[in-house]
Structure 1
Amino acid sequence: MDITGVKSINTSIYTAKNDTKKTDSKSSDSEKTEDKAQNLGTDKFVKSTESNTEPSTYKPTKQKLSTDEIAALKENEQNSKAELIKKFINDTISNQNKLLGKSTESGVPGMSKTTSDLLTKIFGSIENAYPPLATTPEGAQKAISEGGPYSVNAVADRIMTMAKALAGDDPNKLQQMRTAVEKGFKEAGFDFKKATNSDLPQICQDTCKEVMRRFDELQSKASSTNDTTKSDTKDSKDSK
């Protein structure tokens, strides 16, 4: 047999088989592409509408407070202020008595951060609201004497400073502060009598009288200013 002929036959067979495989491979790839194209062709694009679209974020609805609710909030706020000044008076009177050697209460009382911040805002510091107590008999006597931090005028100054800061320019709130101050002194007297079976020392009673005198003066001035304002308003309307 001619070797050259055998080689030629084998080579042609191999080439034919190889070409067939390549053709089959291309055909398969083509079919896959067509199938994929057909599958894609079945997909449908649906445009969303507002009716089936959920909002991405929740926006709470603001609700207005009723007149009664607003009034209740203001009343609670005013009651809190009244309680604050009553406690301030009780603590301050207690410090006066401690300087007299007639009280077993501690000096500066414990307080919340809210109270501490408010007192700091009104007086500049806690030390200004509650001056440190003297530790010697001589220092104690000086503290309650005229010009001392716990004298009648000094304590009255601090009480009125707080009352005016809490009441502002509102005559009604000023009267509420006066009522709270009166109750504060009464409660201080009640606590003192319960502990010692005696009335408040004279310096405390004098302090109360001085504070009430200042309230009289302040409220009389506020009333006169209010009357003048009303009169000016009336005259202005009449002139028109």
Structure 2
Amino acid sequence: MDIIKTKGIDTSNHIITNDTKKLDTKNDGTSDASKIKGVTQDLGTDTFVKSTEKDISDLTYKPIKKKLSTEEVKDLKESQENFKTDLIRKFISDTINNQNKLLGKSTESQISEMPKETTDLLTKIFGSLGNAYPEIATTPEGATQAIEEGGAYSVTAVADRIMTMAQSIAGDNPNKIQQMRTAVEEGFSQAGLDFNKATNSNLPQICKDTITEVMKRFDELQRNPSSTNEKVTNNNN
């Protein structure tokens, strides 16, 4: 025990003792080092394993492809057929309207904007939208030339385009050819009704002649499909 004396003070009554003992870490079984070691042992040892491409691939979201039922496939095909039938009706209406524009008797200002599905199909059939819908002449002379024989909106040229579309959609299937004929007849009929409603008059003669020519070609096509196919192919070349 150490005795510390303080100057000027009676040391007999004021004795400070230093009983502090040094920690003997050498013999202490609960030293910090052993505690840390114990914790490490209790937690165990982690092992680093590098991910493989397969592991990453397995984690990637993969949508499950649902197989369409027979009924769904049937509905899809029917929807596609309806789209093509509606398209040919609209094509006839637009083309007849363009003929009337050239005559100065159109009831519409322009063809409405078409969805991409429509423009894609027209491009596939005709090569370009310009071939499906030739530009309208803006002068009286140009308009006259366009509806005369050899012009873009003459009876022959319009009949060619209508039959090209009908045969492209129908192929060699007799049932589909008849469906296209019915759709074309409905298209002409609706065009006539629309024109009559707007002008209180019947379609101009060039439109009537176009209808007659198209129906004549359908008659020939249904009698002898191969001959008409060759004719339309030659006209497109």
State the TM-score, normalizing by the size of structure 1: 0.71
Give the counterpart letter for 2:181 in structure 1.
R
Cα displacement (A) at 1:198: 1.1
Provide the residue aligned with 1:65 in structure 2.
69
> Map of 1:1-16 to 2, 5 A cutoff?
none
Provide the residue aligned with 1:11 in structure 2.
none
C-alpha separation in 1, matches of 2:126 and 2:146: 19
Provide the residue aligned with 1:174 in structure 2.
177
Where in structure 1 do 4 or more consecutive aligned residues deviate above 3 Å?
24-27, 33-41, 55-64
Q: Structure 1: which 5+ runs fail to align?
A: 1-16, 42-54, 225-240
Say whether the 8 Å CA contact 1:91–1:109 is kept in structure 2. no
Cα deviation digits, residues 90-113 of structure 1 (max 9, x gap): 010001011111113124432112
> Map of 1:1-240 to 2, 5 A cutoff?
21-24=24-27, 28-29=31-32, 31-32=34-35, 35-36=38-39, 39=42, 60=64, 62-66=66-70, 68-222=71-225
C-alpha separation in 2, matches of 1:120 and 1:40: 70
Give the counterpart letter for 1:82 in structure 2.
T
Q: Structure 2: which 5+ runs fail to align?
A: 1-20, 45-57, 228-237
Provide the residue aligned with 1:236 in structure 2.
none
Cα displacement (A) at 1:192: 0.5
Cα deviation digits, residues 5-30 of structure 1 (max 9, x gap): xxxxxxxxxxxx98x73514676256
State the TM-score, normalizing by the size of structure 2: 0.71
Determine what percentage of the aligned residue pairs are the same residue. Answer: 61
Q: Which has the higher helix share?
A: 1
* SS of residue matched to 2:108: coil
Length, aligned pairs only: 193
Say whether the 8 Å CA contact 1:89–1:159 is kept in structure 2. yes
C-alpha separation in 2, matches of 1:162 and 1:61: 34
Cα displacement (A) at 1:83: 0.5
* SS of residue matched to 1:101: coil
Cα deviation digits, residues 41-95 of structure 1 (max 9, x gap): 8xxxxxxxxxxxxx966763734412x3332222221111111000000010001
